[in-house]
Structure 1
Amino acid sequence: MTGGAGSRIRGLVRKEFLQVRRDASSFAIAFVLPAVLLFLFGFGVSLDAREVPVAVVVEDPTPEASDFVASLINSKYFVPRIMHARPPAERAMLAGEIDAIVVLRETFAGELNASDIRPAPIQAIVDGTNANRGRVLLGYLRGAWANWLAQRGLEDPALARATIDVEQRVWYNPAVDSRNFIVPGLVAIIMTLIGALLTALVVAREWERGTMEALFATPVRTSEILLGKLIPYFTLGMGGMALSVAMAVFVFEVPLRGSLLVLTAASAVFMVTALGMGLVISSVTRNQFVAAQTAILLTMLPAIMLSGFIFDIEAMPAWVQAVTYIVPARYFVAILQTLFLAGNIWPLIWPNLLALALFGTGLLLIAGRRTRKSLE
């Protein structure tokens, strides 16, 4: 890079930083918006079930039945309502007052203490309107039943009827807390929107005000204009990323098992990609309102739906899975979830990082071709 080009880029960068200092909207996008969205989604979105209203039908209040009901009462997952017949429980489920019914038949104690192995003497009826919540709740009920049987076996070995001892282990997220899975992906979604908005709005505003035409009348090259836009907003975007990671670790207590250096490098590559998307959008729209709407439609919505942030990509139809490969957030979500929950797993990190680098390069090339020193 020649001295003239270097001085022009420094001048453009200084101009952008002065503009950022005068305009608080850039700081709001880079720092306030991520914090607000993380608080809203981090605390508001959860795939776990807590304090679920459950009707427990006890046909015969034996000590064994009372003991099992007590285990449900002491669980953080359930809020049991004790009933003595099924019809009231079924009416409560139809009315939406409860999400599940657990039936302890009048033969519960006899079947439980029988010497031969019989099917579990309880019935679980789960509201399947929300299929995912229904599956989670059914798993919780099975776990509560298994834990209670295991506890009874420890207290009285004569009551332990299981012939196989199953030891469960959950790797990477042993607490099975959905927040540990959601928050890293949420950081990727937010930074996708932030990066695209930072450049899309600012550059579109310059087109509206005519300052881009003024720049075209100077000796600066298109590549120098793009660099002058990228460097300041890259700095702001990385500041927002640092804030988001700090909130994930210290506010939401998500473990960061990978290297902070690797996280920073991956974030930098993704930030260039996100800013590149904003540059392309602004070069096409040249209008702030249209640029903002386009940035949301083309970045945030696909990132939420097709990145694996919430919805499992492998469960999607094959043609939808193919579409996910053109969503950059898919690769950053995979990197963040790997670094936060598993660590530096390079066979997972490298391919996704390479894909992001290709996306970033391609978007900057497109932005360069679209941003020509011409008023046509």
Structure 2
Amino acid sequence: MKTMQPNRRLLGLLRKESLQILRDPSSIAIAFVLPAVLLLLFGYGVSLDSKGVPVGFVVMQPGAEAASFVGAFQHSTYFAPRVYRTRQAGREALRAREVTGLVVLSADFAQRLKADREAPIQVLVNGVDANSARLLEGYVQGVWAVWLQRELTARQIAIATPVAVQARIWFNPELRSRNYLVPGLLVVNMTLVGALLTAMVFAREWERGTLEALLVTPVTVNEILIGKILPYFVLGMGGMVLSVAMAVFQFGVPLRGSLWVLAVCATLFLLAALGMGLLISIVTRNQFVAGMIAILAAFLPAFLLSGFLFDIGSMPAVVGVITHIVAARYFVTIVQTLFLAGDVWAVILPNAAALALMATFFLGLSRRLLRKRIE
């Protein structure tokens, strides 16, 4: 009978915490509804692909060559050309943001081209958004190169090129930003459950005065921690299953890696997030403060410093160093690798080891601080 008591105590704690979750609609909403909303928003509403970009063309002297050049852009899905007859009209359209770029063909464009002379074009780009400006510049150069090669071939003019470039795109041949964003968003969703919800666990107990009653019972520190962690772990993994199912079946993101590898790595990351949330909850004793710290210490870094939206390599050196203490950084790398490339162990194993180390650190520190409070 005595050997059954620890199990009965643990089951009682698990039942208590599970009922608390079921009675709190916000927990279910954060675990299932909010991730679905974020996936739908980013999957359908947010795109890093530049398609249908309005570009102005100033054609000072209409002709077959100019029409052929503009037509090359009209047949591209990346551009929505608008033709202007004067440079002033094009500049005004660029200032008014009616177009994001301006391509100017001089009056002697056709003559220079026919005379086999240099026929330069002017490209003006709105540089307010630097990323979009660089993308637009690259697209224009690409279309220009293809058009020029076609024109020279039609005129039977051969150009000796010492280097022939053959582009081959790996892992995301369709160049869909959705395939890159959706897997990273799974990490953000799990951070919400792991850190934000568990940050309220002990803080809520302190505010309601129920933790003192729990501490006078025969339960051990380990039983308290397991009783608090396990229900939220199940909740987090349930949200993960929903997110993966939406990514694969709703958005068509390929999952080229193994499900069991994804499950193991998700377990390590969720334990790290749960440990961080518990640590915040133990230290603060206030739900509002715990929630704010969880957003600043877990959610925002997962959103901004994990490589989910912004490339870590392009960040300043100091910020790049800081990202090494963000658990989401390692899981984003794992998830994007599993979805788009497959089981690349040279990438998965080091990042999984970092997650295991962080999970051990946060859970161990949480247990140590909770034991001090119990004493």
What's the C-alpha RMSD, in Å, of the aligned pairs?
2.1
* Pair 1:356 & 2:331 matched: no
Partner of 2:8: 7
Q: How far off its partner does 1:227 sit?
A: 0.5
Q: How far, CA to CA, are the matches of 2:263 and 2:116 in structure 1?
A: 61
Q: How far off its partner does 1:150 sit?
A: 4.3
**Counterpart residue identity of residue 249, structure 1:** V
Taking the TM superposition and a 5 Å limit, the aligned residue runs for 1:54-203 are 54-115=55-116, 118=118, 121-152=120-151, 156=154, 158-159=156-157, 161=159, 163=161, 164-203=163-202
Q: 1:165 to 1:375 in 2, by over 3 A?
A: closer
Say which SS state the counterpart of residue 311 (structure 1) adopts: coil
In 1, are the aligned partners of 2:193 and 2:235 still within 8 Å (CA)?
A: no
In 1, are the aligned partners of 2:258 and 2:342 still within 8 Å (CA)?
A: yes
1:61-120 Cα deviation digits (max 9, x unpaired): 11121122122223222221101121111122122221100112223333434557x4x6
**Counterpart residue identity of residue 231, structure 1:** L
Taking the TM superposition and a 5 Å limit, the aligned residue runs for 1:1-376 are 3-115=4-116, 118=118, 121-152=120-151, 156=154, 158-159=156-157, 161=159, 163=161, 164-372=163-371, 374=373
1:308-364 Cα deviation digits (max 9, x unpaired): 112221222222211111111110111011111111110110000000011011100
Q: How far, CA to CA, are the matches of 1:113 and 1:371 in structure 2?
A: 82
In 2, are the aligned partners of 1:259 and 1:343 still within 8 Å (CA)?
A: yes
Q: How far off its partner does 1:137 sit?
A: 1.0
Q: How far off its partner does 1:184 sit?
A: 1.5
Q: How far, CA to CA, are the matches of 1:268 and 1:350 in structure 2?
A: 14
Say which SS state the counterpart of residue 371 (structure 2) adopts: coil
Q: How far, CA to CA, are the matches of 2:209 and 2:160 in structure 1?
A: 78
Q: How far off its partner does 1:145 sit?
A: 1.8
Q: 1:107 to 1:161 in 2, by over 3 A?
A: farther
Taking structure 2 as the reference length, what is the TM-score of the superposition? 0.93
| Residues matched between the structures, number | 372
**Counterpart residue identity of residue 266, structure 1:** C
Residue identity over aligned pairs, in percent, reads: 56
**Counterpart residue identity of residue 273, structure 1:** A
In 2, are the aligned partners of 1:272 and 1:360 still within 8 Å (CA)?
A: yes
Q: 1:373 to 1:13 in 2, by over 3 A?
A: farther
Say which SS state the counterpart of residue 307 (structure 1) adopts: coil
Say which SS state the counterpart of residue 79 (structure 1) adopts: strand
1:24-74 Cα deviation digits (max 9, x unpaired): 222111101111122223333322222222110112211121122122223
User: What are structure 1's unaligned runs of at least 5 residues?
Assistant: none
1:159-178 Cα deviation digits (max 9, x unpaired): 56463542111111122222
Q: 1:100 to 1:250 in 2, by over 3 A?
A: same
Taking structure 1 as the reference length, what is the TM-score of the superposition? 0.92
In 2, are the aligned partners of 1:269 and 1:356 still within 8 Å (CA)?
A: yes
